[in-house]
Each structure stands twice: as C-alpha cells, then as structure tokens.
Amino acid sequence: MTSIRTLVLAISLTGILLAGWEMHCRSLGFLPTVEDDKHLWAEKRTLIRDNDPDQVLIIGASRAHFDFQLNEWEELTGIRPLMLAANGKSPGPVLQDIIENTAFNGTIVMNITPSLFFIAQHDSVGEWHRAKEWVDFYYSRTWAQRLNHCLSYAVQPYLAFLTDGEEGDPDLKSLLATLPPTGRTKPGTPFPRFSQVESDRNTIMLARMETDTAFQKTIQNAWATFGSKSKRNDDMIDISFPFYLDLIKQLKDRGGKMILTFNPSSGFYTEMEGRVYPRAQYFDAFVKQSGCPAYHFNDYPLLDQFSPPEWSHLCTPDARVYTREILTIMKADGVL
C-alpha cells in the first residue's frame, strides 16, 4: 500500500507541476503549437493531388507562410490551400519537386522574397540547401520517423510547454540554449520564436509582437544582421530567371496556373530589397518574362496599408485583412 500511495503522490505532484508550468508558459504568450519542421512539411507534401485543377498550393518563404491566412482564404474562395511555404527557404526546390515529380495541374501561388528567390540553385547556398533538405526528406523518411511524428504531434497541439525548436521556447533544450557559457557573453544575435503554427501549417504571429517594442527590436536586430550580408549581384538574374521560367512553362503546358505575389515589407527590409534587388530589374522583369498574373503590394493602396512590426511579416490581424484584400483583387481579375 505504501508503494501505491507513493506512486499516486508522485503522479499527483508531477501533474500539479506540469499544470503550473503550462500556465506559466501561456502567461508568457506561448500557445500550443506544432513544431514546423521537415516532418510536418513532408506530411502536407503528401496531400498534393495529381490532375486536380481545383487544388491550390502556396509556396515561398516566410512571408507567404505568415501573410496568407488559410481560414480567410477558404472563406472567400471555398478552397483551403495547401501551405507548403517554408521559413527561410527558397521556393525553388519545392517548385521543382512539384513539376518534376507530380502531375499537379492546379494553381500555385508563389510569393517572391528577393533574397531567397534570386539565388543560385546549389547546395552551397544555404537558402537553397535548407529547402532541398526538406524535399529530400519527404522521399527518404522511414516508417519509424513517420510513427514518431504521429506520436509527437498527437500531443503538441494541446500543450504550450512542448513548444520547441527556437531560442527562447519554453522546452528545456531551448531554455538551456539561451544560457551563455559560464563567464562569457552568449555569441550571436538572439532570435526567439515569434509565431505559432497550427496543424495545417497555418501560421499565427505571437500577439506580443504587436505591442512589445523590445521584442520587435530583438527580431529587427536579427533581420538587420542577416540582411546586412546581402550584396548586389546581378549575375543572379541570368542564373535564377531561366530556372523558374522553365518550371512555370511546364506548369502552364500541363494546364496549371502560376500567380506571383510580393508581400509587404517595411523599414530596413524595404530599403535593403530596393537597393540590392531593384524592382524593375528583378520582380518586374521576371513577371514580364513569365507572363503570369502578379501582385506587388506597392501597386494597390489596400495592400500597401500595412506595416510589418518586425519589417518582414504581417501581424496576424493584418494578415487576415491582407489575405481578404488580395483575394478580392485576384477574384476581380478572374485569376482565382
């Protein structure tokens, strides 16, 4: 009996402590989220349908992931798109996989973030390599990995303290990562998580990003560090244009449709992208050669009314409005 009472007491204390930690995590603004990793992306990749002209895919980097809200998209169009955009990754390997390895002939909405789009198609380029790794994993994942994914994701959507993978997340591994070595300053630029991801990869920016200027500044500092490495290299026009144009042509030849977007930026990113990737030479020239319908936020007052709090992604209330506005324009143009 003593051992049973001890077991019950241990379980009870564990439950109380976990409940307390869960409440603390939520008080800090964390919400239950699934980890947006290669496992989840690969699971959604399986949902691409061959020869279905009604299916819609969203690809691109994080601006597509944050700015296009799936609930609003489905409400306005009657179709819930498949979110295959990936943060910090080029859409190139994803588009190549779709064209070369499926018979997809629906609509692809591809957002262009210049520093992740106009790059060389080579594993030595980080933005390309990170995306290709996810595509390769889709084909190489084992049944054990699939089972582990299912078991892990069965509980992640319900407990905030399981949020992991980024500096500042509430799991033990992420918290330890924020601690500098004894007696030393932690190297690098802090880059905490500022979003939550739902099971269909719909992304929600943390609410604190809307009002916490210190938190905004932390993310801005990270972008400034990354963006300061961007240098003008017009050779990328001759390298990247033919790659994408050929894939788009193949999509069109099989009856599919490509829609290009350039989602909002502000501050440092607007200045940097305008200087390193002049619109006329990059986005406009690419759109003209592709012959695709395209939507740059600067061209529409209703799309140019937003100011991303950390320069590169819309807060969720704005993203919901942005999704509605751009879809209204697309529907009026007859492209959706």
Domains of the chain listed by start with CATH number: 44-124+200-333 (3.40.50.1110)
Q: Are 335 and 259 in contact (CB under 8 A)?
A: yes
Q: Are 225 and 192 in contact (CB under 8 A)?
A: no
Give me the pLDDT at residue 192, please.
82
Q: What are phi and psi of 57, to 5 degrees?
A: -115, 140
Positive or negative, the CA dihedral 186, 313, 30, 156 is negative
57/55 Cα distance (integer angstroms)? 7
For 198, which DSSP code? -
Question: What is the 3-state composition of the chain as percent helix, strand, coil, each rounded to the nearest 5?
Answer: 55, 10, 40
Q: What are phi and psi of 239, to 5 degrees?
A: -85, -45
Which uninterrupted H or E stretch holds 218? helix 213-227
241/185 Cα distance (integer angstroms)? 43
Q: Which residues pair with 204 in a beta bridge?
A: 196
Identity of residue 34: V
Q: Which residues pair with 196 in a beta bridge?
A: 204
Which uninterrupted H or E stretch holds 205? strand 203-205
Closest CA to 54 of 96, 110, 108, 16: 108
Identity of residue 217: K
46/96 Cα distance (integer angstroms)? 15
292/330 Cα distance (integer angstroms)? 12
Give me the pLDDT at residue 210, please.
93
Q: What are phi and psi of 195, to 5 degrees?
A: -150, 160
Closest CA to 310 of 16, 20, 63, 60: 63
Buried b (16+ CB within 10 A) or exposed e, 87-101: bebbbbbbbbbbbee
Query: 3-class DSSP state for residue 58?
Result: strand
Give me the pLDDT at residue 167, please.
45
Those residues whose C-beta lies under 8 Å from the C-beta of residue 234, and which sit 6 or more positions away, are: 281
Give me the pLDDT at residue 158, please.
57
Alpha carbon 72 to chain centroid, angstroms: 17
Q: Walk along the chain (336 residues) and give the pLDDT tens digit of each residue.
A: 677 777 767 777 766 766 666 676 666 666 666 788 999 999 999 999 999 999 999 999 999 999 999 999 999 999 999 999 999 999 999 999 999 999 999 999 999 999 999 999 999 999 999 999 999 999 999 887 777 666 666 665 656 555 554 444 455 444 544 455 555 445 557 778 888 899 899 999 999 999 999 999 999 999 999 887 788 899 999 999 999 999 999 999 999 999 999 999 999 999 999 999 999 999 999 999 999 999 999 999 999 999 999 999 999 999 999 999 999 999 999 999
Whole-Å CA distances, 163 to 129, 131, 159, 179, 292: 25, 22, 8, 18, 39
